[in-house]
Amino acid sequence: MNRINCNVTSCSHNKSRVCYANCVDIVGSSAKEEHNTSCGAFLDRSVYSELTNNVLSSGSCDCLKCTVDTCSYNSNHLCTLESIQVNGDGSDYYTHTECSSFKLRR
């Protein structure tokens, strides 16, 4: 199973809707809804070259950090889900992305 399924095809790390960044940090520390979260690893493909050669491992992203303290899947700044969904197709800045797997901690 892929760790980060990504619909942000404008990101340099995106290859066939899978993230190939070495490490991804989901940000939005006090988010109440998924649109208050963002993918901190986003790099606009129109500015940066394609970055789908993960040099630290042999495949897709395997390091998923989360600084969204209000997310129920955040445990010590690591995501406990096996796989997450990041959306924001056509984004040109990281704040236009969001973690669609976000679930508000109750």
For the beta carbon of residue 34, count every other beta carbon within 10 angstroms: 18
Measured CA distances, 32 to 60, 72, 82 (Å): 29, 11, 22
Please give the DSSP secondary-structure letter assigned to residue 14: E
Confidence band, pLDDT 50/70/90 cuts, at residue 46: confident
Residue spans per domain, the chain: 1-106
Q: Detail the DSSP E strand segments found in the chain.
A: 4-6, 14-15, 18-19, 24-27, 38-39, 64-66, 74-75, 78-79, 84-87, 98-99
pLDDT in tens, 58-104: 566 667 899 999 999 999 999 999 889 999 988 999 999 999 999 99
